[in-house]
Structure 1
């Protein structure tokens, strides 16, 4: 198995989900006692959330690039950024190291294309929903995305940053997501993209009114294939 580096702590909740899912998959595929060869650097999310200004993102770029370099120097042969929002800095991180970086939105786009999905609603943090760095990857795979509704953007962003990233799951948040997904179906969406690594804490991915493409699961599945040399 190839050794995978993970930039984690973005948040610790999602990093734990990655670690659990990847190891359970390796255990199923390789051997009952097998575990994935992983290098994880858990960053301080207090310094890296709610980034709005260019100077904030420039500071974050330095932190994430330095993390990627440390993981490469420690022996990682490939890299995951364990967050959707952090992929705003994907190009800068990938350019700074000599090992492959598995882009989460690219993995989602490939999965949607294979499934024949041509129309979807994107749900995640504010920058994922309204900026082009994530949406363009999906569009490149033939997916037509519904425009973001700013009321939903604010509600979902608040739930993510005030609740999910600190490990808090509430019935109110679950109801809010169910309502938003139902409205997206009424607006013509044929699928939902969960483009926040913590959102499957709230959304039943396997039993929903619409097909759900969960970025966390898809990214972890791609990581498994890479670790096993099957990508």
Structure 2
């Protein structure tokens, strides 16, 4: 079976990008057997540069970096693109418009799995940008008909802080895991039937047993959808 070449835009952070690389290769091996692995290319950012632009609100400059990365991957032979982070899907439309190959949006396969399970009201954890801005929860609502609940002010601040101060630096703290369990419990109390781990690092901290409702890990779901696309068609 021929494989399409997956173009991975990573390094935001490299910890979660390493999970993408692991999952796409494991799933290809599972599907094709033997010594098979994924045909993929990765452009990996220096995350300090990206993080500085995020927190300065310089989204146009961040978009220019993303477009450049996408075009590099297209020129190198990628057949489609995967942005290995939820937050930077803020500029997904700009990236797609700048290349001639498809972009596999992280929210779409996640929403499809949730709808297939018969759920409509979901909690969303991620960076403050992902939880508060419309680029992500608006897509879940408008394209997929999901009702999206986000944590309250204090819980949002906690989740955002843990991502940037701990997880993207490779730190997994038991106290933060307990705090996230409480954040999830608050969402469930408000009616969440499931919770989207809408930051590709949160899966390093939160486990299925930490939640009374199903957790949807966008890292794994996105990577698996990339393999599905890579192994279909000519």
Tell me the TM-score normalized by structure 2: 0.94
Matches of 1:210 and 1:179 in 2, distance apart? 13
Q: Give the C-alpha shift of residue 148 in structure 1.
A: 3.7
Work out which of the residue numbers 202, 205, 215 in structure 1 matches 2:208: 205
Conservation of the 8 A alpha-carbon contact between 1:124 and 1:194: yes
What is the CA–CA distance in structure 2 between the aligned matches of 1:211 and 1:4, rounded to whole Å?
A: 28
SS in 2 for 1:71: helix
- Give distance in 1, aligned partners of 2:135 and 2:91: 9
Moved more, 69-78 or 113-122: 113-122
Report deviation, 1:138: 1.1
- For residue 32 of structure 1, report the CA deviation from its aligned partner: 2.6
Separation (CA, whole Å) in 1 of partners of 2:180 and 2:17: 22
Residue by residue over 1:188-229, the C-alpha shift from the partner in whole angstroms, topping out at 9 and shown as x without a partner, is: 211101100011111113673111111111101100101101
Q: Would the alpha carbon gap of residues 207 and 46 (structure 1) be closer, same or farther in structure 2, given more than 3 Å must change?
A: closer
Matched, 1:120 2:122: yes
State whether residues 123 and 194 of structure 2, in contact with CA within 8 Å, keep that contact through their aligned partners in structure 1. Answer: yes
> Which 10-residue stretch deviates more, 134-143 or 36-45?
134-143
1:84 aligns with 2:86: yes
Q: Among residues 207, 214, 226, which one is paired with 1:223 in the alignment?
A: 226
Q: 8 Å contact 2:8–2:43 — kept in the other structure?
A: yes
Map 1:95-174 → 2, pairs under 5 A:
95-140=97-142, 141-174=144-177
Q: Where in structure 1 are there 5+ consecutive unaligned residues?
A: none
CA distance in 2, matches of 1:77, 1:53: 33
Deviates more, 1:208-217 or 1:66-75: 208-217
SS at match of 2:51: coil
8 Å Cα contact 1:190/1:210 also seen in 2: yes
CA distance in structure 1 between the aligned counterparts of 2:202 and 2:127, rounded to whole angstroms: 10
Which of 54, 58, 61 aligns to 1:59? It is: 61
Query: 3-state SS of the aligned residue for 1:103?
Result: coil
Decide which of 30, 33, 44 is 1:31's aligned counterpart: 33
Find the partner of 2:71 among 69, 72, 76.
Answer: 69
Cα separation, partners in 2 of 1:57 and 1:139, compared to 1, 3 Å? same
Aligned length: 229
Q: Tell me the alpha carbon deviations over residues 166-206 of structure 1, each in whole angstroms, 9 at most, x when there is no partner.
A: 11101011111111111211222111011000111111136
Alignment partners' CA distance in 2, 1:93 and 1:174: 34
Give yes or no for contact 1:206–1:212 (8 Å, CA) kept in 2: no
SS at match of 1:70: helix
Deviations 1:31-51 (A, max 9, x none): 131110000011110111151
